[in-house]
Amino acid sequence: MIVNGTSKITASHRSRTAAVYLRQSTLIQVRDNTESTLRQYALGDEAVRLGWDREDVLIIDADLGLSGKFGQVREGFRDLVAKVCLGEVGAIFGLEVSRLARSSADFARLLELARLTDMLLIDDDGVYDLTNFNDRLLLGLKGSMSEAELHILSSRLQGAKRAAAERGDLRSPLPVGYVYDDEGECVIDPDMEVQAAIRDVFAAFAAGGSAYQVVAAFVGRRFPLRAYGGAWAGQLRWGKLTHARALGVLSNPCYTGTYVYGRNVTRRRVQPDGSVRTSLGCPASGGRWSCTTTTRATGPGRTTWRPRRN
């Protein structure tokens, strides 16, 4: 690593902590992109080369696997900001300091704190002194571009998913009772006990008329669950049939032979303490998109999207 602008580093900066902030957006990146993780840890050696004592180098890696959209949900980022406010940090090291936060608000706040506490930001491109207007302007532009990059990538990914859904080709996790065969077609689970359990759910509902009656009919009897993700991915698990699971089965249009995408939307709300909470909601209750479907007996149907009038 060859850093430009090392003349900006003073004894005042070296007398304080050199914070090495590590971040990767997802756990998949942490698992697969190990070279990036190693490069970020190696920034501690770079801080020592630039004059910091080894005991004054702080590695902050609590946010590996977390998105940079919201600083409130990143414990490592919150601790870093707190140390900057106290004037304990002389410099922050990162592979790309413009990606310390994917939110312009969080990044602008960090830059302002860096200016007030005479703290440096250091990456492969050089040393940024936030008391210098040109450095502050350059980093501000880079931060805005980083946020725009996230928006563009998300738009491309979501656009591709919607296009596949409109053709009926998007493969989503199937509810228990259905599996994908070797050709990728949706078929009934060949396990006879699973088939019997699903049939009995709808039979109990037809007889009792409520999900509570379904749960009562399964007292002392196990119910299947197809696991997705994690160490149990693809495995069939068995457990107790709860009221919530019974409602999920009874309201799932897949059991009618209908191909559906867009039943839920993600909503984010700011809590009184400033944290951001993410939850799932139904489009019918005010979501941005509504979803219409058609049924095709020989395979998945076709999904069309239209903007919803709120």
Q: Give the integer Cα–Cα distance in Å for 260 and 186.
A: 13
Q: List the pLDDT tens digit at each of the 310 positions of the chain.
A: 555 678 899 999 999 999 999 888 777 777 777 888 888 899 999 999 999 999 999 999 888 877 756 555 678 888 889 999 999 999 999 888 877 776 777 888 888 999 999 999 998 888 999 988 888 888 888 877 877 777 788 888 888 888 888 887 888 888 888 888 888 788 888 889 999 999 999 999 999 889 999 999 999 999 998 777 666 666 788 899 999 999 989 988 888 888 888 777 777 777 777 666 777 665 544 443 333 333 333 333 333 333 333 3
Whole-prediction pTM value? 0.57
Q: Give the integer Cα–Cα distance in Å for 167 and 209.
A: 35
DSSP assignment, residue 98? G
How far is the CA of 18 from the CAs of 53, 83, 263, in angstroms?
9, 11, 47
Given 7, 12, 25, 144, which residue is catalytic? Answer: 25
Q: Give the integer Cα–Cα distance in Å for 47 and 60.
A: 14
Q: What pLDDT score does 23 carry? A: 82
Q: Is 25 a catalytic residue?
A: yes
